[in-house]
């Protein structure tokens, strides 16, 4: 998988990640292990590792100003593990993750109209009661 960092200067798309993950798995003959169930369990495991980073820190401010550079790097690695497994899972399941995410944002905009929810954490099914 040469050139992993070739897109670093220009950014990377979900499609790029999907293709790189597919190539990575194929080169190692790992497709046989990449069932939806196995990928989901791996994703959950990585979410656990991500959660451990924050487990005993309490609330932290945006940008993590008090974190050491090594801690931020570790966070980036765990976030990347989660993203990569999510992208691979969506590919194996035949879901276009980018389109699904945009569709979900549109649905959320309808469920949470600005006029009813701005500045509020009220659940969508209770917004009309808030008025």
In the chain, domain spans: 11-95, 98-131
pLDDT at 40: 99
**What one-character DSSP code corresponds to residue 22?**
H
Instruction: Tell me the Cα Rg of the chain.
Output: 19
Q: Does domain 11-95 fall into CATH 3.90.480.20?
A: no
Measured CA distances, 113 to 13, 78, 110, 122 (Å): 29, 33, 6, 12
At 56-85, the pLDDT tens digits run 999 999 999 999 999 999 999 999 999 999
Q: Report the pLDDT value the prediction gives residue 6, as an integer from 0 to 100.
A: 60
Direct distance between the N- and C-terminal alpha carbons of the chain, in angstroms, rounded to an integer: 55
| Start-end of H helices in 7-113 | 14-27, 36-54, 69-92, 97-111
């Amino acid at each position: 998988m040469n050139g992993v960092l070739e897109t670093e200067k220009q950014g990377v798309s979900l499609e790029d990640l999907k293709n790189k993950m597919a190539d990575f798995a194929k080169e190692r003959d790992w497709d046989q292990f990449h069932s939806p169930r196995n990928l989901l369990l791996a994703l959950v495991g990585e979410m656990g590792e991500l959660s451990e980073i924050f487990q005993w820190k309490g609330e932290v401010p945006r940008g993590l100003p008090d974190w050491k550079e090594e801690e931020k790097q570790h966070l980036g690695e765990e976030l990347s593990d989660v993203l990569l497994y999510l992208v691979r899972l969506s590919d194996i399941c035949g879901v276009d993750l980018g389109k699904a995410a945009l569709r979900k944002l549109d649905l959320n905009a309808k469920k949470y109209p600005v006029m009813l929810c701005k500045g509020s954490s009220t659940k969508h099914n209770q917004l009309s009661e808030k008025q």
